[in-house]
Amino acid sequence: MHPFSIASVRRVGVVGRYNTPGIAKPLKRLVAFLAARGLDVMLETDTAALTKMRDHPTAGVAELGGAVDMVIVVGGDGTMLAIARQVASYRVPLIGINQGRLGFLTDIALTEMETALAAMLDGQLVVEERMLLHASIVRAGVELIEGLAFNDVVINRGGIGGMIELSVGIGDSYVCDLRADGVIVATPTGSTAYAMSANGPIVHPSVRAWSLVPISPHALTNRPIVIGDGEQVTITVTRSREAAMHWDGQLHHDLVEGDQVRIDAAPFSVRLLHPQGYDYYAMLRRKLHWSESPLSLKAGRPRPGDR
């Protein structure tokens, strides 16, 4: 794993959340700021079309990772998930500017964009590595499709209704048969997303592990389990009228009885950059309103320890 130095950044890729009202203005602010710092800017193709900025080179997302030293994403966590999967193999670091709703990954507010970025470009930053999952569908011994997930891989029942039945294996071991609405296989990043809603554990991003979380299991003794990242999980669809698999809720593929889903850790990680002083637990308190009473939430009082 190559160490990262902000001093090596010369060209910055800029990506904006597609088709979002009002996003062109902060994107133009961002590009002007970066140019004033003496950095070369490359715009993602759709971002350039959205903002009508024609003074900078452009590239599609698939090519952006190999052409820049850093990528700044303006949008929400969904935008960050989509971009991170496509540039992670290049080991390009990402910074998230939040124009979404919650912002676990895009953690810099628009109102603080220039101030936060100026400090980060001066070396006041935190570098964080986040693991990815690689998942494929195998049917009758043939791989149909494969892809990466930053948050989670989800296997669930379709719209017809009724539970699906799955057989779960980890490494060479048979683990269990599961009758449920589905199962979530989540990275530490995804542990605060769908997996948390299904009563899965929150896993710190520094932990190289992932969670298997049943969705509404028929047997209440089927509980979430956390495993090390060196394992491979194999989930076989043993009975289902309709089922599907989802990568980060953004890529989808139908499943039929007999299909195997094979999941392991990707050989590379996502590199995120945060402002200096970034604290994962403070972020959880802020986003999940821990240590709050209903009265303090209503009054909008600051939380102890928040930065």
Tell me: the pLDDT tens digits for 64-73?
999 999 999 9
Residues 85-95 have pLDDT tens digits of 999 999 999 99
Name the domain count of the chain: 2
Query: Are 242 and 117 in the same domain?
Result: no
Q: What is the CATH classification number for the domain harbouring 116? A: 3.40.50.10330
104 shares its domain with 209: no
Domain annotation covers residue 137: yes
Q: Which two tokens stand for residue 76?
A: 């929400």
Query: What percent of the chain lies above the pLDDT cut of 90?
Result: 80
Q: Residue 79 above 60 pLDDT?
A: yes
The pLDDT of residue 295: 62
- Mean pLDDT for 267-289 is 93
Q: Answer yes or no: do 32 and 155 share one domain.
A: no
Residue 286 lies in a domain: no
Query: Is 1 within the bounds of a domain?
Result: no
- The stretch 76-85 carries a mean pLDDT of 94
Q: What pLDDT, on the 0 to 100 scale, is given for residue 297?
A: 56
Q: What is the mean pLDDT of residues 11-34?
A: 92
Residues 129 and 304: their CA atoms lie apart, in Å, by 27
Distance CA 3, CA 44 (A): 25
Long-range contacts of 91-95 (CB under 8 A, 24+ apart): 91/1, 91/2, 91/268, 91/271, 92/13, 92/65, 92/68, 92/271, 93/4, 93/127, 93/271, 93/272, 93/273, 94/70, 94/270, 94/271, 94/272, 94/273, 95/70, 95/71, 95/120, 95/272, 95/273
Domain carrying residue 81: 6-123
pLDDT of residue 306: 47
Q: Which among 67, 75, 63 is positioned nearest to 41, based on CA atoms?
A: 67
Q: Where does the pLDDT of residue 307 fall: very low under 50, low under 70, confident under 90, or very high at 90 and above? A: very low
Residue 11 lies inside a defined structural domain of this protein: yes
Instruction: Answer yes or no: do 111 and 179 share one domain.
Output: no
Residue 33 CA, chain-centre distance (Å), reads 26
Q: Is 27 helix (H, G, I), strand (E, B) or coil?
A: helix
Average pLDDT, the chain: 92
Residue 290 predicted with pLDDT over 70: yes
Q: 39 by DSSP, 3-state: which? A: coil
Residue 178 lies in a domain: yes
Residue 157's domain is classified under what CATH number?
2.60.200.30
Same domain, 156 and 256: yes
Reported as a pLDDT band with limits 50, 70 and 90, residue 222 is very high
Residue 158 has pLDDT above 90, yes or no: no
Residues marked as catalytic = 77
**Residue 32: which pLDDT band, with cuts at 50, 70 and 90?**
very high
Q: Answer with the residue of higher pLDDT: 1 or 255.
A: 255
pLDDT of residue 20: 81
